Amino acid sequence: MFPSRAVLRIRTILLALFALLLCSQPFSRWYNQGRESEATSITHSDPEKQTRLSWRYDVEGHIRFWRQFQPLLTTYEPKCLPPLRLGMAPSIRFEQADPYERPEFLDLLPMDVEDLKQTHSGFINAIQTNPPQLDYTHNTRGLVSTAGGSYLPVFVISLRMLRRTGSQLPVEVFLASEEEYEKYICEEVLPTLNAQCIILSTILNAISHPLQIQKYQFKLFAMLFSSFEEILFLDADAYALLPPDDLFTSEPFLTQHMITWPDFWASTISPYYYEITEQPAPEPFARQSSESGEVLISKHTHLKTLLLSTYYNIHGPDFYYPLLSQGAAGEGDKETFVTAALTLREPHYQVTEPICAIGHTTEHGFAGSAMVQFDPTEDYHSHNQTIKRQQQKQKQQQKHQAHGSFLPTTSGTRTKAFFIHANYPKFDPSTIFDEHEVNPAIGNDGRYTRAWTGPPDIIQALGRDVEKEFWEEIRWTACELEGRFRAWNGKKGICKRVKKYYKAMYGGRWWE
Residue 468, classed as helix, strand or coil, is helix
Asked if residue 36 has pLDDT above 70, the reply is: no
Q: Taking the alpha carbons of 84, 87, 88, 90 in that order, is the dihedral positive or negative?
A: negative
Residues 197 and 150 in one domain: yes
In a domain, 39, yes or no: no
53-67, 237-251, 370-384: the lowest-pLDDT one: 53-67
Q: Where are the beta strands (DSSP E) in 188-336?
A: 195-199, 228-234, 238-240, 258-266, 288-298
Query: Which distant-in-sequence residues (6+ apart) come within 8 Å of 104 by Cβ?
Result: 86, 270, 271, 272, 326
Asked if residue 113 has pLDDT above 50, the reply is: yes
Residues 113 and 217 in one domain: yes
Residues 489 and 365 in one domain: yes
In a domain, 512, yes or no: no
Residues 372 and 328 in one domain: no
**How many domains does the chain divide into?**
2
pLDDT average, residue stretch 474-499: 97
What is the spatial distance between Cα 221 and Cα 210, in angstroms, rounded to a whole number? 13
In a domain, 394, yes or no: no
Cis peptide before 191 (omega within 30 of 0): no
Q: What is the pLDDT of residues 404-417, one digit of tens each?
A: 333 334 444 678 99
Residues 341 and 375 in one domain: no
Indicate which CATH number applies to the domain containing 283: 3.90.550
Q: State phi, psi for 24 to the nearest 5 degrees.
A: -75, -15
What is the spatial distance between Cα 442 and Cα 432, in angstroms, rounded to a whole number? 9
In a domain, 25, yes or no: no
Residues 278 and 217 in one domain: yes
Give the pLDDT of residue 326: 96
Specify whether the CB–CB gap between 50 and 38 falls below 8 A: yes
Q: Which amino acid is at 438?
A: V
Residues 376 and 295 in one domain: no
In a domain, 51, yes or no: no
Residues 361 and 426 in one domain: yes
Helix (H) or strand (E) holding 459: helix 456-461
Residues 291 and 371 in one domain: no
Which of 304, 332, 350 corresponds to the end of one domain?
A: 350
Specify whether the CB–CB gap between 262 and 188 falls below 8 A: no
Asked if residue 46 has pLDDT above 70, the reply is: no
Instruction: Categorize the per-residue pLDDT at 94 as very low, low, confident or very high, splitting at 50, 70 and 90.
Output: confident
Residues 338 and 429 in one domain: no
The count of other CB atoms within 10 Å of the CB of residue 447 is 8
The whole-model pTM stands at 0.86
What is the 3-class SS of 332-389, one letter each residue? CHHHHHHHHHHHHCCCCEECCCCCEEEEEEECCEEEEEEEEEECHHHHHHHCCCCHHH
Residues 278 and 363 in one domain: no
Which domain, by its residues, includes 464? 356-384+414-507
Residues 320 and 378 in one domain: no
In a domain, 452, yes or no: yes
In a domain, 41, yes or no: no
Q: pLDDT higher for 159 or 282?
A: 159
